[in-house]
Structure 1
Amino acid sequence: MTTPHPAEDQEPYGSEGRDRSLDVAVTGMAGRFPGAPDIATWWRALLRGEVLTTRLDREALLAAGENPAVVDSPDYVPVRGLLADADRFDHELFGISPREAALMDPQQRLMLETAWRALEDAGCDPTREERVTGVYASASSSAYLRAMLTSHTLDAAGVEEALRANEPDYMATRIAYRLGLTGPALTVLTACSSSLVAVHLAVQALLNGECEQAVVVAAAVDFPQLGHVHLPGGILSAAGACRPFDAEADGTLAGSGVAAVVLRRYEDAVDAGCSPHGVLIGSAVNNDGRAKAGYQAPSATGQEAVIRAALTAAGVGADTLGYLEAHATGTRVGDPIEWSAASSVLRELGAAPGRIAVGAVKANIGHLDAASGLVSLIKTLLVVRDGKVPPVTGFRSLNPLLETAGSPLRVRPDGFDWDGEGSPRRAGVSSFGIGGTNAHVVVEQAPAPAGPAPEDAPDGPEHLLVVSAATPDALRASAARLADWLPDHPAVPLADTARTLAAGRAPLPYRTAVAGRTRAELAGRLRAAGAARAVGRTAPPVVLLLPGQGSQYPGMAVPFADALPGFTT
């Protein structure tokens, strides 16, 4: 399913030949990853080529609930892409009771928080969003629900509550309900390709007028987060390292994380003054059918077809691409098939030998299952935005099973700068699911801002930065994050930052504000702003009313005071 652009000659931004009516802008994004609490930290680690997976010690595995006999097995691999604080949740922000939060799948909790942050990154107040906004959500199977049901600690009512708080049917609709979003709310599940398929569906909904904005969010957090038992011939690595396209590749690793993007039609985003992270110019989804060795096997035919369809939808040739973020699981069967399929179709569509650099984020963080496609998309958006291609971590020598003669693809163990040669940088993103549902998205660099950001000036105008949160601890954490963010983003004018904080953030009960003329001054004052005060609480405390009817008597509330904690007469 694709919506094709009109064909075009290759021209840079600003030319009259490029029809942008079917382009979709990425206006916001957020995520948490193994070894990185946010996108900025993660991106710096990727550029350094860091391996962000964790080798778990025996004590930690046993404490998490792993069977001692399994841990001590010679085939046990105690490595995974570990997500820190996956059990934490800011339930007060969303008005969720502690009991409901405890029953909710951690994946769904993280998706709710990350959708909120992505909307904030798009300059939207999640509590007052008036645009018709769709939600497209994907997550891995809920091991949390299985653990609760097999614990036999829930009564019949608790089981019913747990099902509502964990089953995939309610992922997207819970986010829509808690954030007041009124567009389509769909759960999308196609195994490993789920979240990139969700991106494609969100793009189609925007172009078809079903919504004005879309949030695509995905999570993959196993419960508990453990290692794996290597099975001969299986897809999981015996060595505990994912090494895509490498001669020593022996499989993939499980990883945990959550990611979200906010999408708008490009022309609408530009009219609203947005500065997109990047632009989606084409996407496609298909299925292998029976053209493969078995149900779980990949198909070169299906992968070729989906890449060709996405480029057709984009209306661009493969000769304009400079980067491909591959599905790249590091498996002995999957990598050669993917390399062969991509090489064949990209060469057919005009890409010269060695033109396209290959990326493989699973080498850094492991395989994030249902969230992997969205994570790959975010990485690719950063590549085309910043013009920096990270190394393929751990790569030493090319797998001899890969056909290199005339291939447009190349793997580099070192990172490099990509200047785009005067044209917008373009890249492809692939995601392939067990069962044969394939997705591919073509990404383009967004146009540069109209002019340079004004420099900080000690004698310039003062800017007021306001911060609010649901709790005092959350307020301090938000102020600290903003203080860290300011010096790292000198291209964003302080006036824009101040306006976004005032108009594009929810006014929550605990607030602080600082004024200053420079980033350093504002950052210092944010770190020192420790006085949080409650402002404008809308929910009064619970009160028990005894209306009367002539039955009152002195001391009638004493039994309540004796039996109910916190009750006062």
Structure 2
Amino acid sequence: MEDYLGFDLEAFGFSRSEAELTDPQHRVMLEACYRAVESSGCFIGSLPDRVGVFLGARTSGYGAQIEYCSTSAGGDVDLSGLAVGTEPDYMSTRISYAYGLTGPSVTVLTACSSSGVAVHLACQAILAGECDSALAGGVALDVRDAGYTFTEGGIYSPRGRCEPYMASADGTVDGNGVAALFLRRLDVALAARNPILGVIAGTAVNNDGRERAGFTAPGVAGQTELIEEALDVAELRSTSIGLLEGHGAGTGIGDALEIDAATRAFRSTGAGVGDCRLHSVKANIGNLTAAAGAASVIGCLLALRHGRIPPNAPLVEGASPTDLRGTPFTLADTPIAWRRSDRGRYAAVSSFGLGGTNAQVIIGDAEPEMQLASRKGRSWQLLPLSADDPERLTEAVDAVRAAVDGASAEARQDIGHTLRTGRPELTTRAAAVIPVDDSPTGERWPKPGQFRTPPEVPPALVLALPGEEAGVPEAALALYKAEPAFRSAVDDGLAAMEHTLAPETFAAVRDAFLHGRCLTATNVSQPVLHLLGVGQHAFLGALGVEPDLLVGHGVGELTAAQLSGVLSGEDAARAVCWRSQAMSDLPERAEAAALFTRRMREVRLNSPTTPTLSCVTGAWLTSEEAWDPGYWGAQLREQVPFDEALRAVVSQHPEAVYLQLAGGTDPRETARLRGVAEDAVLTLVSDEEAPDGWCSLLRAVGALWERGVRIDWQAYAERDHALRVDMAPRAFERIPYVHPSLLEHCPGIDPAELSGKQVD
């Protein structure tokens, strides 16, 4: 493991002094657990179910070094703080606290079987209903990194080589490493559409008791019973096991006894000679002690995923194998294709601890029916991207772009779904909108100069609803086809308009949404513009986006009246029809206003529930004005210019986010809006890079999110038929932190010397 002293203070909410007093094992495990959940397409900080934590650890020596160096120099050390920061007892509970996980939280200390036992305990807790998901694994770091002194008769190799199941095996070699698994109840994982790497079919744990040569010696009887019990729990015979990932620490006696025990257990359930491949990852990465069992499970998951049994590293390098004649086991010197039989593929993992506590885990590959498929849904994908700073956001954008390039429509949909529902919302943001069909048209990726840092408190949202001067965008068809919430709101409005408009006029309004055709006549364009605004508001409302303030101009003020509760949806639709027809039939505004005033006496007028700016007075609409049919007639006849109305809102709410619904294709209207609210967001902007209204609307949603407006991505996901995928991991900062006493009073130690060495 490389750079295990590196840590990201801000990402994990640590102070510098807290990080320096915390064992690197705890710090590394914080990141490993984050990564394990992240690889499932989820964010560890927002898991909806109870999550348990079961982790194995060992004493790293970090706390002892701090105490020794501090006291040797005559200094004081906070022993209670040191214990909490460095003792393995507190590692699992630190993880639970950091991420708000409320399931059982247990640190396991059974030497080399710790993480194997942790996997067993996690499975038992899930099966018992104590949690729905669990983190299981282990970590083993020796920050002293000083090697070892060979002792005759000990367990360590005099050559510094770990060669399990080889004739030359003469001892083990410890390694530094961390392994974390995210386990979920199968139905929970399927419902969440997580990527499933494998299914744990059965686990078992026991102890050798006294049936062995001594306390530190392995026991054949205990190991045999363990394997038989795990097979029984999994309801399998040994003939189903294609790979035994053995404990294989590389000690001559230990390996021989392990092979003897495994042979007895496999033969008892029907295994023939050479039926199963035997392997130990310790030949590749050393003995990770407290992390060894989980590391072996990960190795088996990779073998199952790729359908290939890995070779034994020493054989590849020319070592001679131990004698396995007559046993159920063989060793591979090259990768072997692992074909799927009718009974599936299964691997067994043995994890044995000094002191006699043994663990066995049996893993099967995910059944074909568990490999859920995406179904093509939305034609455009909104990708919210965030990081802790611009540099890391640039890296994230590049990584996602690389993943998207050349990807299928389903894969692009999966990427979008994972980014929206399985990633944290960090301080530096950018959003991209891409087509699912791999077409370059409309694909726009943010550049570093376009990144935004939203305020800590979500800003107020002002909805601006333009009137007839905005022009009617040719977006109705795309939005109507794309989004159920939009379509439902439009259908409700059309139902109210059908008995108010003349048949030919109603048909023209309806055709804008059914066929994408729209006339410029006032009695058609105004109802279409109103329905576009209402439909977009319904779509945004389904995402949890509601305005704090409203301002409408022309027919847009009637739309605002519906959104603020002054008019019901049905009455607003009728009022828009009356207004547009009066303006179309009576060219004199005074006559049209008088007719419209009379018609408005037929509807119920209420007080606004959302502050709404009046474009008649240029001030906030009062209840008395809202109740007065004459006000609405005056609104048709004379209004302050829209930019003046907006300026009044901006002067009072300069930090608000301004979103214009419906219009935006008329350059004059856009210029007026941007002249007052320079950073305003427009939902429908027609240009070569936004081929349809759906693309444009998604860009607006992304722009709102960039500015700090909260979006309910889970609600957005309800229509997705996408999978969560492992992609674009969060980039953590790697700054080494070491307790000052180790540097000040032990001049031979520095962060560079303490850093772990990469294992080839």
1:66-465 pair list within 5 angstroms:
83-152=1-70, 156=76, 158-395=78-315, 396=318, 398-400=320-322, 402-405=323-326, 407-448=327-368, 461-465=379-383
Deviation of 1:453 after TM superposition, in Å, equals: 6.4
SS in 1 for 2:367: coil
Deviation of 1:488 after TM superposition, in Å, equals: 11
Deviation of 1:533 after TM superposition, in Å, equals: 3.5
Which has the larger displacement, 347-356 or 371-380? 347-356
Letter of the aligned partner of 2:61 in structure 1?
A
Question: How far apart in 2 are the matches of 1:256 and 1:520?
Answer: 43
Deviation of 1:527 after TM superposition, in Å, equals: 10
User: How many equivalent pairs are there?
Assistant: 451
Partner residue, 2:417: 499
Distance of aligned partners of 1:131 and 1:421 in 2 relative to their CA distance in 1, 3 Å threshold: same
Contact 2:345 2:364 in 1 (8 A): yes
Contact 1:245 1:335 in 2 (8 A): yes
Question: How far apart in 1 are the matches of 2:407 and 2:260?
Answer: 40
Q: Which is richer in helix? A: 2
The higher-RCO structure (CA 8 Å, 6+ apart) is 1
**1:299-324 CA distances to partner (integer Å, 9 max, x unpaired)?**
11111111111011001111111111
Contact 2:115 2:138 in 1 (8 A): yes
Which has the larger displacement, 177-186 or 489-498? 489-498
SS in 2 for 1:192: helix
Deviation of 1:529 after TM superposition, in Å, equals: 5.4
Coordinate RMSD, CA, aligned? 2.8
Letter of the aligned partner of 1:107 in structure 2?
Q
**1:210-246 CA distances to partner (integer Å, 9 max, x unpaired)?**
1111111321111032432222222222222211111
Structure 1 runs not aligned, ≥5 long? 1-82, 540-569
Contact 2:413 2:436 in 1 (8 A): no
Distance of aligned partners of 1:385 and 1:434 in 2 relative to their CA distance in 1, 3 Å threshold: same
Question: How far apart in 2 are the matches of 1:324 and 1:488?
Answer: 38
**1:430-483 CA distances to partner (integer Å, 9 max, x unpaired)?**
00000000000110010236576689xxxx944333332334444345445545
Percent sequence identity is: 39
Question: How far apart in 2 are the matches of 1:90 and 1:440?
Answer: 35
**1:166-217 CA distances to partner (integer Å, 9 max, x unpaired)?**
1122111111111010111111110000001000001000010111111113
Distance of aligned partners of 1:278 and 1:487 in 2 relative to their CA distance in 1, 3 Å threshold: farther
Q: Does 1:535 align with 2:535?
A: no
Question: How far apart in 2 are the matches of 1:234 and 1:98?
Answer: 40
Contact 1:114 1:217 in 2 (8 A): no
Larger Cα Rg: Structure 1 or Structure 2? Answer: 2
Structure 2 runs not aligned, ≥5 long? 459-760
SS in 2 for 1:214: strand
Distance of aligned partners of 1:164 and 1:485 in 2 relative to their CA distance in 1, 3 Å threshold: farther
Deviation of 1:252 after TM superposition, in Å, equals: 1.7
**1:46-103 CA distances to partner (integer Å, 9 max, x unpaired)?**
xxxxxxxxxxxxxxxxxxxxxxxxxxxxxxxxxxxxx111111112112111110111
Partner residue, 2:619: none
Question: How far apart in 2 are the matches of 1:351 and 1:287?
Answer: 25
Question: How far apart in 1 are the matches of 2:414 and 2:335?
Answer: 32
Question: How far apart in 2 are the matches of 1:154 and 1:424?
Answer: 63
**1:384-425 CA distances to partner (integer Å, 9 max, x unpaired)?**
12211111102245544x4521x1111011111111234321
Question: How far apart in 2 are the matches of 1:526 and 1:291?
Answer: 66
Deviation of 1:140 after TM superposition, in Å, equals: 1.7
Deviation of 1:117 after TM superposition, in Å, equals: 1.4
Deviation of 1:275 after TM superposition, in Å, equals: 3.0
